Amino acid sequence: MCLKLIYIAFFASILGCFAQNDSLHNPYFKSYDDKITVSIYYLDTSNSFQIASDGQEPKIYVNLIPNRREQIGFNLNYKIIDVSLGFAPKFLGGNKGDSHSKNFNFNTRFYYKKWMQSFTFINQKGFYISDNNINAQLPNMRTTKIGGSTSYIFNDKFSFKTLVSQNEWQTKSSGSFIPTFSFYYTNLDLNTPDSSPGDFYVFTLAPSYFYNFVISDRVLIGAGIALGAGLNDVDGDTSALYQADFNLKLAYNNDRFFAFASLNTVGFAQDEKVDPRLNDNIATLRFSVGYRFDPPKKVKEVYDKVNDKIGL
pLDDT tens profile 35-63:
888 999 998 887 888 877 766 666 677 88
Is the predicted pLDDT of residue 133 greater than 80, yes or no?
A: no
Residue 55 confidence (pLDDT): 62
- Report how far residue 78's alpha carbon sits from residue 82's, in angstroms, rounded to the nearest whole number: 7
Is the predicted pLDDT of residue 13 greater than 60, yes or no?
A: no
Residue 145 confidence (pLDDT): 92
- What's the mean per-residue pLDDT of the chain? 81
Taking only the tens place, the pLDDT of each residue in 245-263 is 999 999 999 999 999 999 9
- Contact between 32 and 19 (Cβ < 8 Å): no
- Report how far residue 8's alpha carbon sits from residue 146's, in angstroms, rounded to the nearest whole number: 19
Is the predicted pLDDT of residue 7 greater than 60, yes or no?
A: no
Residue 238 confidence (pLDDT): 86
- Region label for 255, one of left (φ > 0), alpha (ψ between -120 and 50) or beta (otherwise): alpha
Q: Name which of 67-71, 237-241, 292-296 the model is least confident about.
A: 67-71
Q: Name which of 23-27, 133-137, 201-205 the model is least confident about.
A: 23-27
When computed from its CA atoms, the radius of gyration of the chain, rounded to whole angstroms, is 21
Torsion, Cα of 217, 213, 39, 264 (10° steps): 170
Which residues contact residue 62 at a Cβ distance below 8 angstroms, ignoring those fewer than 6 apart?
A: 50, 51, 52, 129, 130, 131, 134
DSSP-derived secondary structure letter, 132: S
- Report how far residue 145's alpha carbon sits from residue 198's, in angstroms, rounded to the nearest whole number: 12
- Report how far residue 52's alpha carbon sits from residue 90's, in angstroms, rounded to the nearest whole number: 30
Q: Name which of 191-200, 203-212, 245-254 the model is least confident about.
A: 191-200
- Contact between 266 and 279 (Cβ < 8 Å): no
Confidence band, pLDDT 50/70/90 cuts, at residue 153:
very high
Is the predicted pLDDT of residue 123 greater than 90, yes or no?
A: no
Strands 115-130 and 102-112: antiparallel
Q: Name which of 49-53, 147-151, 291-295 the model is least confident about.
A: 49-53
- Report how far residue 8's alpha carbon sits from residue 104's, in angstroms, rounded to the nearest whole number: 8
Model pTM score:
0.78
